[in-house]
A and B are shown apart, each in its own frame.
Chain A
Amino acid sequence: MNTNETMMSSAPSSAVKENDHPVFLPAADIYESPAGVWIRCDMPGVAEEELEVTMENKVLTVSGTQMGQGREGLETLAGEYLTGVYQRSFGLSRDFDESAVKARMKDGVLEIELPKAKEARARRIPVEA
């Protein structure tokens, strides 16, 4: 079983700025088994209530706004990263049962579980001699 359930992933074309925040593509891991598809995205600094996971027309989109850093009045001495909005879309090869999709956030990592419906799983066809 080696069907690629997730094909492309890309940032939205209008991605440069959203409400003046830079938009970043989160790094992602994608796993698949006969039971389902798992997607993990690195989204450090994003609170659960700032997270949005949507599925429409076989496209799964995740987005989340990072929390601010520190308190007012601090001056940046060295800046290696910016904060803004994480956003990424994953094209799925077919629809998943939306009600069964699970998403959870832990330590800045979003994990989405897309269980495959029973009828969509590959079936072994016995070959008769």
Chain B
Amino acid sequence: MNPWGSLTGLRDLQREMSRLFDGGMTVERTARFPLVNVLSDADEALVTAEIPGVDPANLEISLTKGQLTIRGTIKDAAPAGEDMICHRKERASGPFARTFKLPFEVEEEKISAKYEKGVLAITLPRAEKSKPRSIPVIAG
């Protein structure tokens, strides 16, 4: 299993297709939740995840042996009121967890996470020894 592979799996591909060329009335769901993007440069990695409607107090991020885990629960209740009926329920809710192997060593004590507008952003600074180094070439 390659957790870093992009758009692996037919369902994810279908979902992307329907997001891009939406012709239907349905919102596709994937088994994978939340969806994650990983960005990086020479100094750090940025992991972002779309987790709308979660209470940040119910989010748990942990790092064990180079594996990053995002865990949480989306508590979603019907609006308060009498005789409330539900016509449509497409939004994800309930517990979720995902674990990824990090592509390089990070400074564990310097990891920071921010939850804003339904998007979780985790910044992972690279460990000094894992930063790319350029090797000078000597003409000889």
CB contacts under 8 Å to B, within A81-112, are: 81-82, 105-109, 111
Q: Contact mask A3-46 → B, CB, 8 Å, 1/0?
A: 01110111100011000001111111111111100101011111
CB distance from A33 to the nearest CB of B (A): 5
CB distance from A9 to the nearest CB of B (A): 7
CB-based nearest B residue for A11? B22
CB distance from A87 to the nearest CB of B (A): 9
CB-based nearest A residue for B92? A27
| A28 CA to B118 CA, complexed, in Å | 15
A69 on the B face (CB < 8 A): yes
| A111 CA to B45 CA, complexed, in Å | 33
B12 on the A face (CB < 8 A): yes
Pairwise interchain contact A28-B7, C-beta atoms closer than 8 A: no
Pairwise interchain contact A76-B38, C-beta atoms closer than 8 A: yes
Pairwise interchain contact B19-A82, C-beta atoms closer than 8 A: yes
- Kindly list chain B residues whose C-beta atoms are within 8 Å of the C-beta of A22: 19-20
- Kindly list chain B residues whose C-beta atoms are within 8 Å of the C-beta of A31: 78-79, 84-87
| A74 CA to B39 CA, complexed, in Å | 6
B111 on the A face (CB < 8 A): no
Interface size counted on chain B using CB atoms at 8 A: 53
Interface size counted on chain A using CB atoms at 8 A: 53
A79 on the B face (CB < 8 A): yes
Pairwise interchain contact B40-A44, C-beta atoms closer than 8 A: no
| A35 CA to B81 CA, complexed, in Å | 8
Additional 20 contacts, C-beta under 8 A, given A16-B20, A34-B82:
A6-B87, A9-B88, A25-B18, A27-B29, A28-B90, A30-B86, A31-B78, A31-B79, A33-B85, A35-B82, A44-B52, A45-B119, A76-B38, A77-B4, A78-B38, A80-B6, A80-B12, A81-B35, A107-B54, A109-B118
In the A-B complex, list the 9 residue pairs whose CB atoms are closest, starting with the nearest: A108-B118, A44-B118, A108-B52, A74-B39, A27-B90, A30-B88, A30-B87, A44-B50, A80-B35
Interface residues of A, Cβ cutoff 8 Å to B: 1-2, 4-6, 8-11, 15-16, 22-35, 38, 40, 42-47, 67, 69-70, 73-82, 105-109, 111, 113
